[in-house]
Amino acid sequence: MGGGEIRENLQWVRERISRAAVRSGRRPEEIRLVAVTKTVDPQRVAQAAEAGVEIFGENYVQEARAKKEALGRTACWHMIGHLQSNKARIAVDLFDAVETVDREKVLLELDRHARQVEKVLSILIQVNLSGEPTKSGAERGRALELIQRAAACANLRCQGLMTIPPFYDEPEKARPFFAALRELRDGLRPLVPSGVGLDALSMGMSGDFEVAIEEGATHVRIGTAIFGKRG
Ligand SMILES: *Cc1c(COP(=O)(O)O)cnc(C)c1O
């Protein structure tokens, strides 16, 4: 797929983001597009940046480095894959935000390495709302504790929550999970230490991002609808 096609896909995705925002009474600018680059080669990532993508999401720390270098321009990089604590140092080096913090050990390692390089790292707490044991993410009952731990870390800024619902062919089936993340966030707001922002809700992928926006998504993570099917 060439640059022209990526540009067209992006235009169509942006159009759909806008329409979903407007029909749910929101401003399109409230929703940030995170273009997901897993398995996409660096050249096509660069084409997406030329077409105006400002935030990229990558699942694999090893892949992020080559893609960042290929861009030749500044972009914001979000880690959206499962993060092992032994990769925390490299994640701090490569990413502006880690969306998949789901346990204390990772949180403390990220803070430690961020302090060493005098960087403030944005994080989201990933919550597993389906209870599927194969999915990563903290149980919903543990989100508050993780947010409180993050608030005590000088080099982390907790910005909100992230979730990946179970896979469905039918986007409406994911709606209860998106609504649940918003409700969890709203319930946590009065409980978190002052100064902690919980505005961000990262939810929705190519198959269901419009539903996620209707339920309050601030970040949608979209790969296939921009870059085509992964080989
Ligand atoms: C792959 C991936 C996406 C993007 O999925 P698409 O269906 O290709 O849009 C979003 N979020 C996470 C965590 C992913 O791993």
User: What pLDDT was estimated at residue 1?
Assistant: 58
pLDDT band at 215 (very low <50, low <70, confident <90, very high): very high
Question: Is residue 221 lining ligand 1, measured as CB closer than 6 Å?
Answer: yes
Structure confidence at residue 71 (pLDDT):
86
Q: Is the per-residue pLDDT at 198 higher than 90?
A: yes
Q: How far is CA 36 from CA 51, 56, 57, 79, 179, in A?
A: 15, 6, 4, 10, 23
Residue of 9, 38, 126 to mutate, ligand 1, most atoms within 8 A of C-beta: 38
Nearest atom, ligand 1, residue 224 CA: 8
- For the segment 207-227, the average pLDDT, to the nearest whole number, is 98
Give pLDDT, residue 231: 76
Range of the domain at 95: 3-227
pLDDT score at 48: 96
pLDDT at 61: 93
- Is 224 close to ligand 1, i.e. is its CB under 6 Å away? yes
Contact 6, 48 (CB under 8 A): yes
Give the mean model confidence (pLDDT) for residues 57-73.
Answer: 90
- State the pLDDT at residue 14: 98
What is the pLDDT, as a whole number, of residue 133?
81
| 194 Cα distance to chain centroid | 23
Does the beta carbon of 39 lie inside 6 Å of ligand 1? Answer: no
pLDDT at residue 134, rounded to an integer = 77
Closest listed residue to residue 213, CA positions, set 60, 24, 55: 24
Among protein residues, the one with the nearest Cα to ligand 1's atom 11 is: 221
36 Cα nearest atom in ligand 1 = 4
- Owner of token pair 């409700």: 183
Q: Distance, CA 89 to ligand 1 centroid (Å)?
A: 23
Longest dimension (CA), the chain: 48
Number of domains in the chain: 1
CB 13 near ligand 1, within 6 Å: no
Q: Specify the pTM.
A: 0.97
pLDDT > 70: percent of the chain: 99
pLDDT value at 206 more than 80: yes
Residue 164 Cβ < 6 Å to ligand 1: yes
Q: What is the distance in A from the centroid of ligand 1 to the CA of 135?
A: 13
Number of DSSP helices (H) and strands (E) in the chain, helices first: 9, 9
Point out the least confidently predicted range of 69-78, 117-126, 157-166. Answer: 69-78
User: What is the per-residue pLDDT for 59?
Assistant: 97
- At 126, give phi and psi (nearest 5°): -85, 130
> Is residue 73 over pLDDT 90?
no
C-alpha of residue 222 to centroid of ligand 1, in Å: 6
pLDDT the model gives residue 2: 67
The yes-or-no verdict on residue 199 having pLDDT over 70 is yes
Q: For position 202, which CATH number holds?
A: 3.20.20.10
Q: Given the CA of residue 80, which atom of ligand 1 is nearest to it? A: 13
Per-residue pLDDT averaged across 23-29, rounded?
97
